[in-house]
Amino acid sequence: MKSKVKILRERKNMTQAELAERSGLSLRTVQRIEAGTVPKGFTLKAIAGILETEPGNLISADEEKSSVDRAKLINLSALLGLIIPFGGVIFPLILTYKTKDPVNKELGKNIVSIQIILAVAVSILMIMSPFIQKAIPVKIPLFLVFLIAFLCVKLFVIIRNGSCLNSRGDLCIKLKDSFL
């Protein structure tokens, strides 16, 4: 949704403020629509009229579904981190930055941010495990405990976000602010 309104507005060489003024909407409403809020009723008709298109052309369930399908692929590619060191960061990052859809790109950035935090946390724990092992004499190797816990947390995050992408079209586990 965001990309369609924005693309049509830019083709008409209009700013968001001009679109808001001509359509009789507030600037904030136009900003929300370009950020992904789906317009309805009067708002949809007003924007479609100014952009000289049919209201149905501004909202498309197929486009939103394909966007979520791409986000699912990015989320699924994080599983490569179970096989390849830092693969859970590298592959989703490549897929995210090759994506042109802004909604999908934002979901990808959130997925990569979580994977970076997980990778840094396990790296720190793996480095610290011999020192902790010396301080707390236990018979089982602590690095294995940390590694298995990391794998379980990583699988949980990927599965949980995948199921939320299927049901809601958004991530359940994400940071408040993406640092990418």
| Contact indicator for 71, 108 with CB cutoff of 8 Å | yes
Which letter, b or e, does each residue of 74-101 get, where b requires 16 or more Cβ atoms within 10 Å of its Cβ?
Answer: bbbbbbebeeeeebbbbbbbebbeebeb
Decide: helix, strand or coil at residue 136: coil
Does 86 score more than 60 pLDDT? yes
Q: Which part of the chain has CATH 1.10.260.40?
A: 2-59
DSSP 5-28: HHHHHHHTT--HHHHHHHHT--HH
Residue 73: closest CA among 3, 173, 151, 165: 165
Tell me what pLDDT residue 21 has: 93
CB contact at 8 A, 17 and 27: yes
Q: How far apart are CA 150 and CA 168, in angstroms?
A: 26
Residue 45 has pLDDT above 80, yes or no: yes
Confidence at residue 120, expressed as pLDDT on a 0 to 100 scale: 93
CATH 3.30.70.150 fits domain 2-59: no
d(CA 69, CA 54): 26
pLDDT tens-digit map of 111-165: 999 999 999 999 999 999 999 999 988 888 988 999 899 999 999 999 999 999 9
Please tell me the predicted confidence (pLDDT) of residue 76.
Answer: 94
pLDDT score at 67: 61
The model's confidence at residue 8, banded by pLDDT at 50, 70 and 90, is confident
How distant is the alpha carbon of residue 19 from its chain centre? Answer: 28
Please state the rounded mean pLDDT for residues 35-64. 79
For 45, other C-beta atoms within 10 Å of its C-beta total: 14
Could you tell me the pTM of the whole model?
A: 0.63
63 vs 174: CA distance, rounded Å: 23
pLDDT higher than 70, residue 65: no
Structure tokens at 100: 């042109």
Measured CA angle at 15 (ends 12, 19), to 5 deg = 75
Question: Mean pLDDT over all residues of the chain?
Answer: 87
Could you give the percent of the chain with pLDDT greater than 70? 94
